[in-house]
């Protein structure tokens, strides 16, 4: 009478060498076969299984891969050479660790969602992994610390002139989110953490003319949204409790 979840290893897929798309959800998957690295025609991988905690190192060999969606898994690490795949366009995860640096310029990458800095080390302002992803349109970065990553993060954001959707969760949100001139195409901002609000003399509505949504998460100990921000962004500002 005890339900036992059936496990799947997806090894049968490896006999289909010309597959371009793998979209699997609702199955109990603990691991992907290492042979997946031989499926060099793959363009799109979506795996939806909270049983999956790691990916095989061979995934770095998928040199034509454009989309990797592991947002419904518990994968937190990926082989560093994965970030050498120059065809990458969309990487969606839950809490995927970024390497300390990325060697290749990822000019095709448009979406980087659900990533975090590695637990060890700091970001070098001259060699931050986000410096190689300046063509992003959507970014969700979680778990950063101002003392370790703040300066590099501000420098990288200042170069992302195509960014439309930004979500940040960290100990301190930099004021460049509201003031950096290069971020003029931002449409949505979703932030959680202590926020460095711009001065009352700053006209956020003018600097962010395309902004249609600002969502702020705060707890009871954090200061309220300044009145001048409320006035300038009336109608698009939402404040939610953590």
For residues 37 and 110, membership in a common domain is answered with no
Separation in Å, CA 42 to CA 196, 202, 222: 43, 47, 46
Q: Please report whether residue 72 resides in a domain.
A: no
Q: Encode pLDDT of 75-89 as tens digits.
A: 999 999 999 999 999
Nearest in space to 56 (alpha carbons), one of 34, 77, 72: 34
Higher per-residue pLDDT: 125 or 112 = 112
CATH number at residue 229: 3.80.10.10
Separation in Å, CA 75 to CA 24, 53, 125, 171, 227: 15, 4, 27, 23, 41
Nearest in space to 46 (alpha carbons), one of 63, 26, 29, 70: 70
For residues 103 and 214, membership in a common domain is answered with yes
Q: Encode pLDDT of 148-188 as tens digits.
A: 999 999 999 999 999 999 999 999 999 999 999 999 999 99
Question: According to the model, what pLDDT value does residue 13 have?
Answer: 81
CB atoms within 10 A of CB 46: 17
Total domains in the chain come to 2
Whole-prediction pTM: 0.92
For residues 96 and 208, membership in a common domain is answered with yes
For residues 134 and 220, membership in a common domain is answered with yes
Q: Which of 65, 81, 102 is the last residue of a domain?
A: 65
Bridge partners of 170?
144
């Amino acid at each position: 009478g005890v339900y036992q979840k059936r496990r799947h290893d997806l090894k049968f897929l490896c006999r289909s060498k010309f597959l371009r798309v793998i979209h699997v959800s609702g199955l109990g998957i603990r691991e992907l076969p290492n042979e997946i690295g031989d499926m060099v025609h793959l363009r799109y991988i979506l795996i939806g299984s909270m049983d999956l905690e790691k990916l095989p190192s061979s995934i770095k060999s998928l040199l034509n891969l454009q989309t990797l969606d592991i947002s419904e898994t518990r994968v937190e690490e990926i082989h560093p050479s994965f970030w050498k795949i120059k065809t990458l366009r969309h990487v969606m995860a839950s809490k995927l660790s970024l390497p300390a640096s990325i060697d290749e310029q990822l000019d095709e990458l448009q979406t980087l969602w659900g990533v975090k800095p590695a637990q060890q080390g700091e970001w070098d302002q001259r060699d931050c992994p986000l410096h190689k992803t300046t063509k992003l349109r959507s970014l969700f970065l979680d778990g950063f610390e101002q003392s370790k990553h703040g300066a590099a993060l501000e420098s990288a954001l200042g170069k992302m002139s195509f960014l439309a959707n930004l979500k940040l969760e960290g100990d301190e949100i930099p004021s460049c989110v509201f003031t950096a001139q290069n971020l003029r195409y931002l449409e949505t901002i979703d932030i959680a953490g202590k926020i460095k609000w711009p001065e009352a003399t700053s006209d956020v509505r003018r600097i962010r003319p395309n902004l249609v949504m600002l969502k702020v998460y705060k707890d009871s100990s954090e200061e309220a949204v300044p009145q001048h921000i409320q006035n300038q962004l009336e109608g698009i500002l939402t404040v939610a409790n953590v």
